[in-house]
């Protein structure tokens, strides 16, 4: 096949002095940080949906993207050709992983049987290309939100037939993920929520969502799929309220329905913003529960206020992200998945390279800065000292459950009064972070 990017060769690491826009300045995949290479730490993935299916359309206008390899048809042949282009791109970029929804890679047919057949025909090409390039599947997922049949939700639809359709689609997407050696499978409940409570039986809908996840857990075992299941929190858009609204809500849902042992969270930056949280907050919430699995790396425009899915270039964001990721032991099955799209105005194919190179360099810097902050140790030591009163005496007794309320009362009666005599030192800590940025 003719090259889709004939003027672009493999993107190389040239170092911080380089002025070549088609080179990495900070992402040297072989560089070792905290005992692992940058490639092993960051496990970059390219998303199929934005990068190869994004048209640049918005609510006010049609698509703008120039994609000369795409004939614009919905044919399987076009999808297969596009798959080969995708792998040329991912290989030249040097990302070790990619992710898809079933309907991004292959066209939906008139029936589920036809859709499955189309999916298999494209999956064959994906398999060939994975073998040819060594690029692997980080996770697969089913698109349970685009088709009008999901107007009232997928597993949370008021219509049981829609639940059945969604479940069958998940079954197939899990099978293909398994066949392609996927390291995970993600559930994002695009339409699992409500627009008005006037027509919604919330309890029943949430039970149905849990039912689908339990069915998937059972089927996973049956087919021997060893990948990690993820839930991806997002509070709104397209629905007014989504049941997987933020990390805390997802954890509560998973616990309530006995699903927590089977799932981790896939935390997305722009979704955190929409939930009124920082990415760091969502990562810490997931990490503290032992459920930090993977990240969808992007960023939002805070002045726009919707899910703009921009490529992350902010070094504070990547530093705080990697500080949390390292704190909880780094990625195992997960990775840094660029769920991000080039701007509508950035319509040339070369913009796809600039966007990913920028994101990868920003994360490489974030990782190195985070590792330097950890090596320096002052930040961790500060936090440790801040809680020192819990390490001995009454604090240790309370933590270990050995102090009764009566004992605690007696202790504090003896003390008389308490003064919280240490400063939070936020400004000092912000300055400390700036020493490393
Ligand atoms: C939507 C979103 C999805 C999920 C996968 O906002 O992030 O693309 O990542 O379904
Ligand atoms: Co996402």
pLDDT score for 305: 86
User: Among residues 172, 232, 213, 208, which one has the least CA distance to residue 47?
Assistant: 232
pTM to 2 decimal places: 0.97
Distance 343 CA to ligand 1 centre (A): 17
pLDDT score for 334: 98
pLDDT score for 322: 99
Among the atoms of ligand 1, which is closest to the Cα of residue 266? Answer: 9
pLDDT score for 207: 98
The total of other beta-carbon atoms located within 10 Å of residue 340's CB is 26
Which residues make Cβ contacts (< 8 Å) with residue 17, sequence separation at least 6?
Answer: none
C-beta of 232 in contact with ligand 1 (< 6 A):
yes
Name beta bridge partners: 140: 100, 185
Among the atoms of ligand 1, which is closest to the Cα of residue 188? Answer: 10
Active site amino acids: 101, 104
What is the C-alpha separation between 61 and 294, in angstroms, rounded? Answer: 33
Nearest ligand (C-alpha, residue 99):
1
Which residues make Cβ contacts (< 8 Å) with residue 170, sequence separation at least 6?
Answer: 142, 144, 187, 212, 215, 216
Contact at 8 Å (CB) between 304 and 266? Answer: no
pLDDT score for 420: 81
Residues of the chain with pLDDT under 70: none
Which residue among 45, 48, 49 is best mutated to probe the pocket of ligand 1, counting the most ligand atoms within 8 A of its Cβ? 49
Q: How far is CA 178 from CA 25, 45, 317, in A?
A: 35, 17, 33
pLDDT score for 288: 98
pLDDT in tens, 284-334: 999 999 999 999 999 999 899 899 999 999 999 999 999 999 999 999 999
Distance 188 CA to ligand 1 centre (A): 6
What is the C-alpha separation between 37 and 188, in angstroms, rounded? Answer: 30
C-beta of 244 in contact with ligand 1 (< 6 A):
no
pLDDT score for 421: 75
Tokens linked to 135 = 């690029």
């Amino acid at each position: 096949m003719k090259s889709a990017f004939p003027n672009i060769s493999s993107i190389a690491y040239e170092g911080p002095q380089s002025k070549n826009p088609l080179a990495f300045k900070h992402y040297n995949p072989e560089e070792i940080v905290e005992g692992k290479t940058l490639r092993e730490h960051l496990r970059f993935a390219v998303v199929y949906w934005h990068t190869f299916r994004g048209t640049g359309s918005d609510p006010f206008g049609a698509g703008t993207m120039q994609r000369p390899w795409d004939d614009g048809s919905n044919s399987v042949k076009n999808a297969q050709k596009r798959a080969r282009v995708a792998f040329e791109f991912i290989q030249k970029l040097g990302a070790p992983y990619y992710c898809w929804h079933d309907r991004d890679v292959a066209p939906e047919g008139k029936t589920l049987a036809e859709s499955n057949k189309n999916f298999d025909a494209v999956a064959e090409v994906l398999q060939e290309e994975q073998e040819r390039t060594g690029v692997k599947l980080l996770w697969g997922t089913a698109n349970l939100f685009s088709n009008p049949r999901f107007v009232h939700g997928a597993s949370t639809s008021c219509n049981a037939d829609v639940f059945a359709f969604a479940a069958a689609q998940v079954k197939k997407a899990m099978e293909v993920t398994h066949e392609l050696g996927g390291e995970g499978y993600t559930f994002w409940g695009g339409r699992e929520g409500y627009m008005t409570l006037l027509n919604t039986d919330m309890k029943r809908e949430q039970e149905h969502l849990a039912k689908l996840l339990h069915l998937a857990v059972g089927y996973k075992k049956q087919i021997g799929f060893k990948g990690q299941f993820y839930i991806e929190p997002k509070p709104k858009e397209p629905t007014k309220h989504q049941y997987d609204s933020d990390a805390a809500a997802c954890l509560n849902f998973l616990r309530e329905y006995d699903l927590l042992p089977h799932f981790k969270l896939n935390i997305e930056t722009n979704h955190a913003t929409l939930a009124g949280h920082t990415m760091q907050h969502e990562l810490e919430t997931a990490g503290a529960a032992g459920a930090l699995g993977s990240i969808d790396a992007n960023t939002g425009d805070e002045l726009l206020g919707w899910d703009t899915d921009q490529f992350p270039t902010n070094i504070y964001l990547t530093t705080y992200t990697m500080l949390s990721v390292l704190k909880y032991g780094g990625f195992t099955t997960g990775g840094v998945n660029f769920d991000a799209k080039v701007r509508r105005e950035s319509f040339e194919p070369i913009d796809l390279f600039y966007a990913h190179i920028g994101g990868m360099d920003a994360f490489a810097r974030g990782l190195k800065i985070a590792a330097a902050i950890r090596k320096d140790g002052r930040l961790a030591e500060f936090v440790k000292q801040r809680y020192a009163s819990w390490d001995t005496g009454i604090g240790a007794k309370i933590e270990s459950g050995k102090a009764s309320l009566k004992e605690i009362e007696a202790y504090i009666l003896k003390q008389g009064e308490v003064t919280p005599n240490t400063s939070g030192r936020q400004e000092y800590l912000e300055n400390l972070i700036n020493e490393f940025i």
